[in-house]
């Protein structure tokens, strides 16, 4: 595999400046993959994946509006807004069909994007995510999180978040992943975190989208994920005729960080088949 350099860049999209990493294919470009991070992280969570894609793949990882080094624009967030930002980003870079790889919130964005712009998608990788909207209990948890973070700050929020999002093994043995999560949360503003929590609470249900998905689709779940139930991802797999479902052992909600070797194997095998 030839050495490829990851470059950081920015592009103006509608009312925001989107920060992104890009690693261009060193051979004839066969496909483009765009990585979408979860809440409340940034594009750095995908660096390990960008380093291992094959030479015929261009890899891009973006900071969602209001996260990382991307600006917040008008400040009124929704999964719809994030998906439309992505569409304008893809058009601005003059990309044709792309593979979307999203974890958690990134998966919600990918599903909504597919619903709106299916002709631009060559494949989907949906990690530790699902198709359902928050029920009342889920909405209340997000509202409670907003109150807690406003009262106690980002540091306390980060500690509680780590307990939920990572497996016990990762917390004990992978200090790099733990620190990456902490630093990601610290880099985001209080307003951005709270606005994103409201966006997640308000997202639409995507159940009706599943039967319409006709592109190759890979569903990945960390076996010890405390946030995304297995039965919901199996339900999603059963709703998508083209879907394959795999679980990554000894990983929680972020298997790309917690078990990158196994995750990257599944990623590259999937990309090779498209």
Q: What share of the chain has pLDDT > 90, as a percent?
A: 93
- The dihedral of CA 236, 238, 35, 94: what is its sign? negative
**pTM higher than the cut 0.75:** yes
Mean pLDDT of the region 84-100: 97
Token pair 């920060």 is found at 19
Confidence of residue 32 (pLDDT cuts 50, 70, 90): very high
Confidence of residue 159 (pLDDT cuts 50, 70, 90): confident
- Tens of pLDDT, residue by residue over 164-192, are 999 999 999 999 999 999 999 988 999 99
Confidence of residue 227 (pLDDT cuts 50, 70, 90): very high
Helix crossing, 105-116 with 79-92: angle to 10°?
70
pLDDT at position 14:
92
Q: Is the pLDDT of residue 2 over 60?
A: no
The overall longest dimension of the chain from CA atoms, in Å, is 52
What are 34's strand-pairing partners? 60, 100
Q: Is the pLDDT of residue 1 over 50?
A: no
- Tens of pLDDT, residue by residue over 122-154, are 999 999 999 999 999 999 999 999 999 999 999
Confidence of residue 82 (pLDDT cuts 50, 70, 90): very high
Contact criterion met (CB below 8 Å) for 245 and 233: yes
pLDDT at position 4:
65
Per the structure block, which two tokens stand in for 137?
A: 């209990």
Mean pLDDT of the region 233-254: 97
**In the CATH scheme, what architecture does the domain 7-273 have?**
3-Layer(aba) Sandwich (3.40)
């Amino acid at each position: 595999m030839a050495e490829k350099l990851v470059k950081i860049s920015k592009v103006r999209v509608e009312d925001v400046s989107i920060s992104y990493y890009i690693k261009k294919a060193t051979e004839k470009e066969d496909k483009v993959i765009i990585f979408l991070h979860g809440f409340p992280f940034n594009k750095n969570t995908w660096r390990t994946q960008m380093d291992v894609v094959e030479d015929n793949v261009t890899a891009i990882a973006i900071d969602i509006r209001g996260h990382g080094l991307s600006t917040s624009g008008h400040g009124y967030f929704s999964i719809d807004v994030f998906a439309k930002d992505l569409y304008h980003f893809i058009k601005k870079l003059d990309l044709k069909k792309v593979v979307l790889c999203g974890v958690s919130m990134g998966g919600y964005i990918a599903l909504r994007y597919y619903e709106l712009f299916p002709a631009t998608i060559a494949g989907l990788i949906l990690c530790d995510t699902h198709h359902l909207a928050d029920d009342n209990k889920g909405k209340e948890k997000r509202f409670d999180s907003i109150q807690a973070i406003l009262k106690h700050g980002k540091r306390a929020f980060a500690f509680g978040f780590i307990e939920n999002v990572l497996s016990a093994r990762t917390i004990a043995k992978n200090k790099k992943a733990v620190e990456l999560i902490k630093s990601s949360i610290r880099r985001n503003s209080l307003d951005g975190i709270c606005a994103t929590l409201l966006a997640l609470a308000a997202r639409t249900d995507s159940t009706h989208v599943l039967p319409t998905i006709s592109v190759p689709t890979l569903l990945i779940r960390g076996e010890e994920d405390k946030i995304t139930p297995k039965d919901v991802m199996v339900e999603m797999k059963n709703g998508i005729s083209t879907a394959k479902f795999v679980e990554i052992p000894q990983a929680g909600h972020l298997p790309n960080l917690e078990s990158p070797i196994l995750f990257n194997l599944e990623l590259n095998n999937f990309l090779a088949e498209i």
